[in-house]
Structure 1
């Protein structure tokens, strides 16, 4: 304990793993201190080590210390203080002694030695083989790669140059063709019918024909509607017929161009609905016209059959349709309003026609142009209200096999037809139903030696009937002719080949039966 007169001291007892009680004594402020520890007069400072067990400093005095050295702890103990200070001093000494004994056998902490750089052996000298400059240029891989790259670059440049030349050539050729065809369109059209001398001797195309052919081969496949048919069609039609003798391929292309223009004229003369319907059938989408809807071709690539059904019909039959010189069958079915107008003058060029079927059109009176249709076998005119009531006289000179006129008025053509010797031997089917016929059936009907079907229904015919009918008849009908009467039916009831016979709604009666006939 401390007296009131003594300066106050504090003792700290930190926690320790040892059971001994440790204390630290702080000297008073007036404790004498040496002025210099490093002066020659001063003794060396005692070595102090910090104990890791007691957290206190251990003083290790030099053995050379003299009796003059001060012992701070001893001086304090000999000072006139309380007896407790001596006990504390003794306890501290014991603690230090015990600590030194316990830590005497332990190794000191190793000093930290800086890491020394590893010693590496010196590099061996580089041995570079010296080569001559010429050998390196030949065998060095990098030189070979450079040569390959140089060759590849040169080849690429050559290809680019060739491509540019081809493009410039095609562009120049296209411009030249367009200018040439434009000049042709501005110039007067040549005659459609070349002289016989020219046709028989010329086997070389004219410049205009060559340009039209080139346009068709180059531009028409990608732009069918842009081909100048108006100027090229008459030029190509004027090519002599013997041109194909030595130029088969060009002759075929000329023929294709003519056929294409003839069909395209039908598309161009159609209204918007007609063009839309034709377009859906591939019309004018390309130049492969044989694949267009309603178009059929023969083995030589010429149009042989054409079927046009509303709404895919032209507003009128164009004049260019005469370019289809190989046409054998023509079927046109309108809506009673279109096609309208008259048949074109070039219709006579269709000399190969074997069948003509015109139904529900507004075509006006048929011109007397059938004299040139030597191959015409079937003529069918149905419900053409504006066609007139007469048939062309030239029909009587044809070897028609089938003549069908229904739903349009006629001025009693029977007398003219039955007196034609040509028709008498060729006619097989005669159908004049609903044509407002009147009068009697002429007796010359029995002269039709090849007639198989005779239909005269829905007319105004009157009796008496002819005494005989052709023995070749298989189908015979005269229904809805209320002017007929009597019982003179033996002329047809006993026909050997008759299979169908309709006499309903007439005044005729059968006496004793009439085979297959109905009344």
Structure 2
């Protein structure tokens, strides 16, 4: 009775191939959206079934992408929402580039993400409240961009968050102090001219001091 086992093996192989194709397409969407003067993405060949052979991409034993290391890679251009399809991604390292535009709200789908490092870019727009749906997130570094708007209160739900840095942006309003935010010092928020300081219990200044 080897047929059931063989069927399950084939089904698993097909599933892995489909996942690899989806993840390869997601990564290739990023390649199309950025300029790459250093050719660090040269190995990202969309004709290959498995993106795990590409440089700067790490996968697990199931050939699912777990890490993307493109820090200080001289990339310019936009982040893409397709990266939200990398269901097992744990590390998204895109710091010290020249990325512009907004942080896609689809990053809130990365349920296994441990580290989101987007610091030292030129990102604009607001911090997506959807990032509060990342239960495993430990490191969130968005400093040295041009982000605007309020710090989403939803982020205080990130119980595993160990390091937060949103300094050197253009954020406004008051700084949440509940939940995981109770352990972060002022250094995490410095050099945001529109931030009015820690919010007080029952204070309405969070809403009246931020107009953008």
Give the ranges of 4+ consecutive aligned residues of structure 1 lying more than 6 Å apart after TM superposition: 243-246, 437-444
| 1:308 alignment partner, one of 61, 70, 77 | 70
Aligned residue for 1:348, secondary structure, equals helix
SS of equivalent residue, structure 1 residue 258: helix
- Give runs of aligned pairs for residues 184-333 of structure 1, distance below 5 A: 247-271=11-35, 273=37, 276-279=39-42, 282-284=43-45, 286-313=48-75, 315-333=77-95
Structure (1 or 2) with the greater strand fraction: 2
Quote how far apart the aligned CAs of 1:318 are.
Answer: 1.5
Establish whether residue 382 from structure 1 lines up as the match of residue 140 from structure 2.
no
- Find out whether 1:411 has 2:172 as its counterpart: yes
CA drift of 1:314 comes to: 5.3
Question: 1:333 offset after TM fit, Å?
Answer: 2.1
Contact 1:278 1:312 in 2 (8 A): no
Larger Rg: 1
Q: Secondary structure of 2:29's match? A: helix
**Cα distance change on mapping 1:346 and 1:314 into 2, 3 Å:** farther
- Does 2:157 match 1:401? no
DSSP-derived class of the 1:321 partner: helix
More helix as a share of residues: 1
Is residue 188 of structure 2 the alignment partner of residue 432 of structure 1? yes
CA, structure 1 residues 394+341, in 2 after alignment: closer, same or farther (shift >3 Å)? same
C-alpha distance after superposition, 1:363-391 (max 9, x if no partner): 2222221232122121111210x211531
1:66 is matched with none
Q: How far does residue 248 in structure 1 lie from its aligned partner after superposition?
A: 1.2
Counterpart among 343, 360, 367 of residue 128 in structure 2: 367
Matches for 1:80-99 after TM superposition, within 5 Å = none
Please state how far the C-alpha of 1:266 moved relative to its aligned partner. Answer: 1.1
Aligned length: 191
Query: 1:382 touches 1:405 (CA, 8 Å); kept in 2?
Result: yes
- The answer on whether the counterparts of 1:403 and 1:430 sit within 8 Å (CA) in structure 2 is no
Shift in alpha-carbon separation, 1:442–1:372, aligned structure 2, 3 A: closer
Structure 1 partner of 2:209: none
Give, in whole Å, the separation in 1 of the partners of 2:109 and 2:196. 38
SS, match of residue 268 in structure 1: helix
**Alpha carbons 2:174, 2:196 under 8 Å: kept:** no
1:155-170 matches, within 5 Å, as none
Q: Which has the higher contact order (CA 8 A, sep 6+)?
A: 2
* Length-normalised TM-score, structure 1: 0.33
* Structure 1, unpaired ranges of 5+: 1-242, 445-519
Contact 2:174–2:198 (8 Å) recurs in 1: no
| C-alpha distance 290-245 of structure 1, shift in aligned 2 (>3 A) | closer
